[in-house]
Amino acid sequence: MKLFICVLALATTAMSDSNLDILKAGNDQFTAKMFQEVVKTKAVFTDANKQLRSVKGVELSLASRIYVRQGDELNPQFAAISRDVFNSDAKNIDFSKNVEAAKEINTWVEDQTNHRIKDLVSADSLDGNSAAVLVNAMYFKGKWKKPFSPEQTVDRDFYVSKDKTVQKPTMHIVADFKYGESAELDAKLIEMPYAGDESSLLIVLPNEVDGLNNLVKKLENPEVLPIAMEKMYTNEVVLDLPKFKIETTTDLADVLYKMNIKKLFTRGEARLNHLIKDAKDLYVSNALQKAFIDVNEEGAEAAVANQFGIAYLSAFIPVRSVFKADHPFVFFLMEENNVLFNGVFQV
């Protein structure tokens, strides 16, 4: 039977020990490779999940739901994990009525993400053989603690490559931010807080115009970014940052398969049968992710739905720093030390 996994965190709790070990062994490395981190499979996920529901100064909603084929029921152990760890409810649905089922699931996801994530599940992906659809949705909206002035936003050059530029509406501000430089990442970092001081946008800008690919490769080591962040300090920064809006759809099944995680998608080898009571021959048929983020003068709005430096000795550094984000960079939407959402901005 097909299992349409829409959120990786829920999927891992239902895996066999061998499959679970694949994901848990070096979970940080796995997360870094996926580069679309919205959930974690570590034991600390429970505490992080509770914290994320009460972030000051921003709108943040997290919701999970498991749609189970009409007539089936979740394995009691998995149902308890889903409820207690992921705060996820379960609902029976008739997958044989694929159009109606897809519409119901998509409406729920849309409602949970302020109507930013639409059409997550296609009717063609569902049929009478579908056993379950696991959905996780997150919505974030925050206002900058130090907002940009719209009057300061002008079109500036943004390097697509060393030899090509395009014009992008670019915001400008001079203010105190946490700033850092990392020799290991060969990049600059800036952290911009949202109102409430519990969430922020971290931008990692490669020093070289064409340094994005090298930066992404370096970030596969999960220890590098925290070390670089520890060396950040508060300083006056001249910041130029392009406004950006990103909407993506990622085939996670293809990504995982290329990462050599293949058994989950192979009939007879996935060992997922204990997810649903009395089920046999379950395997993952699809795994998709849709994501949205909008960064502008007021703040940032983000939604995600899963279908399935230099060290300084002085505390006071009077030299004004310059952070000119005029070429591709990596961004992380943070809640304290938790990554809610991350991605790459490039034209």
What residues have CB less than 8 Å from 252, skipping those under 6 apart?
A: 8, 34, 36, 287, 288, 289, 306, 307, 308
Number of domains in the chain: 2
Q: Please tell me the distance from the alpha carbon of residue 230 to that of residue 70, in angstroms, as a whole number.
A: 50
Asked whether residue 93 is assigned to any structural domain, the reply reads yes
Question: Do 59 and 207 sit in the same domain of this protein?
Answer: no
Question: Which of 72-86, 129-143, 244-258, 292-306 shows the highest mean pLDDT?
Answer: 129-143
Asked whether residue 17 is assigned to any structural domain, the reply reads yes
Whichever domain contains 166, its CATH number is: 2.30.39.10
Q: Helix or strand or coil: residue 243?
A: coil
Q: Please tell me the distance from the alpha carbon of residue 207 to that of residue 209, in angstroms, as a whole number.
A: 7
Residue 177: strand pairing partners: 235
By C-alpha distance, which of 186, 180, 194, 182 is closest to 341? 194
Residue 59: strand pairing partners: 141
Residues 290-333: tens digit of each pLDDT: 777 777 888 766 666 665 422 333 344 457 899 999 999 988 88
Tell me what pLDDT residue 258 has. Answer: 73
Higher pLDDT, 62 or 47: 62
Question: Do 78 and 207 sit in the same domain of this protein?
Answer: no
Question: Do 180 and 207 sit in the same domain of this protein?
Answer: yes
The H helix count followed by the E strand count for the chain is 9, 16
Asked whether residue 304 is assigned to any structural domain, the reply reads no
Residues 59-108: tens digit of each pLDDT: 777 667 878 888 877 777 767 766 765 567 788 889 899 999 999 999 98
Question: The pTM is what?
Answer: 0.71
By C-alpha distance, which of 232, 187, 140 is closest to 324? 187
Tell me what pLDDT residue 2 has. Answer: 44
Question: Do 195 and 53 sit in the same domain of this protein?
Answer: no
| Under 8 Å between Cβ of 305 and 120 | yes
Whichever domain contains 136, its CATH number is: 3.30.497.10
Question: Do 340 and 220 sit in the same domain of this protein?
Answer: yes
User: How many other CB atoms sit within 10 Å of the CB of residue 91?
Assistant: 12
pLDDT band at 174 (very low <50, low <70, confident <90, very high): very high
Asked whether residue 272 is assigned to any structural domain, the reply reads yes
| pLDDT > 90 in the chain, percent | 26
In angstroms, the Cα distances linking 97 to 242, 245, 283, 286, 299 are 45, 35, 21, 18, 41
Question: Do 280 and 240 sit in the same domain of this protein?
Answer: no
Q: Helix or strand or coil: residue 292?
A: strand
Asked whether residue 65 is assigned to any structural domain, the reply reads yes
Burial class of residue 76, CB neighbours in 10 A (0-12, 13-18, 19+): exposed
Asked whether residue 299 is assigned to any structural domain, the reply reads no
Q: What is the domain extent for residue 49? A: 2-142+246-293
Question: Do 215 and 267 sit in the same domain of this protein?
Answer: no
Question: Do 238 and 191 sit in the same domain of this protein?
Answer: yes
pLDDT(36) > 90: no
Beta-strand ranges (E) seen in the chain are: 2-6, 58-69, 88-93, 130-143, 154-161, 164-182, 187-193, 199-206, 233-242, 244-251, 283-286, 288-295, 299-307, 321-324, 329-335, 338-345
User: How many other CB atoms sit within 10 Å of the CB of residue 45?
Assistant: 18
What residues have CB less than 8 Å from 11, skipping those under 6 apart?
A: 5, 134, 264, 284, 287, 308
Tell me what pLDDT residue 62 has. Answer: 67
Q: For the chain, what is the mean pLDDT?
A: 74
Q: What is the mean pLDDT of residues 165-170?
A: 94
pLDDT(138) > 80: no
In angstroms, the Cα distances linking 3 to 131, 250, 285, 291, 330 are 5, 18, 6, 22, 33
Asked whether residue 301 is assigned to any structural domain, the reply reads no
Question: Do 137 and 157 sit in the same domain of this protein?
Answer: no
Tell me what pLDDT residue 40 has. Answer: 29
Question: Do 206 and 64 sit in the same domain of this protein?
Answer: no
DSSP conformation class of 334 = E
Asked whether residue 303 is assigned to any structural domain, the reply reads no
In angstroms, the Cα distances linking 132 to 103, 126, 338 are 15, 10, 29
Question: Do 13 and 69 sit in the same domain of this protein?
Answer: yes
Question: Do 267 and 199 sit in the same domain of this protein?
Answer: no
pLDDT(170) > 90: yes
| Under 8 Å between Cβ of 166 and 175 | no
By C-alpha distance, which of 52, 63, 81, 9 is closest to 274? 81
pLDDT(234) > 90: yes
